[in-house]
Structure 1
Amino acid sequence: MIPEFHRSIYQSFKGDVEQFQTRLLQVESTPGEAREDTASTDLSVRLSALQTKFEIDICPLDLDQISDREAQQIRSIWVEIDKQLRLLRVDIGYIKTAKQPETMQRRLEQVKGRLERLIAYSERLLD
């Protein structure tokens, strides 16, 4: 769907999302208070980097080289990616303030789902 000359940028973004996902799995397996500390700091830092990459590297990409229909589809996916990134920020905020392990686990599951959606959007753009 995306122009060939943009492919490496999207592949890099997808790779960053996959690294975030891997780190999330590590956080899930971390016990007790160390888990809470790791979740609140590391995941926030990673999300900020991911949002920055999206805003600086992807959103400004020129879509003039492709058809209007394809450009509209890409922009539509960008909107969905942006939405998932904003919702991730909310979920991570809830993880930081979670008092109960069940609440934290539920939010970690939501984060996992959002990361899977981001990977799916990236794959769709790379197809």
Structure 2
Amino acid sequence: MLPERHRQAIAQLQQTLEHLQNQLTEANLDKVTLTAAFRQAQQLLENILQLGDGDVSPSLVSPLQSYLTEIHKQMRLLEMDFRFLQTSRQTATLQTRQTQMRSRVATLIGYCKSLLDK
């Protein structure tokens, strides 16, 4: 089982991602609120990465590192999607970006759930 501080941080990241996902389903995106939620998710991930794995059970160190590597990668890709979304001018392009971002956020939420199940 993951240490409590890891579990709390990952649960908080999951909640932020779920909030972000809800915002991405809205027809009229509020880019300011979306930006704030995205930045919060980035900060939470940085906090998780800084926790280290010193107090993690040796049997969980490798899976934890693997998940965190994937989460970090997906967050970087989400950041690129986010930048493209901000520059989207046409409705069709905006909708495509929203769909891509929702998919990526769903993947991130799945990773968080998997980690919390450990």
TM-score scaled by length of structure 2: 0.87
Quick check: 1:47 aligned with 2:34? no
- Deviation of 1:5 after TM superposition, in Å, equals 4.3
Quick check: 1:61 aligned with 2:60? no
Separation in 2, partners of 1:64, 1:97: 41
Unpaired stretches in structure 2, ≥5 consecutive residues: none
CA RMSD of aligned residues (A): 1.6
- The number of residues matched between the two structures is 117
Q: Is the 8 A contact 2:42 2:75 kept in 1?
A: yes
* 1:35-90 Cα deviation digits (max 9, x unpaired): 4xx23x3222211111011102x112242233434111111111111111111111
Task: Give the direction of change, closer, same or farther, for the CA distance of 1:77–1:111 in structure 2 (3 Å limit).
Answer: same
- Deviation of 1:112 after TM superposition, in Å, equals 0.1
Q: Is the 8 A contact 2:17 2:108 kept in 1?
A: yes
| Residue 97 of structure 2: aligned partner | 107
Identity fraction in percent: 31
4+ aligned runs moved over 6 Å, structure 1: none
Unpaired stretches in structure 1, ≥5 consecutive residues: none
| Residue 96 of structure 1: aligned partner | 86
TM-score scaled by length of structure 1: 0.82
Q: Secondary structure at the match of 1:20?
A: helix
Q: Which has the larger radius of gyration?
A: 1
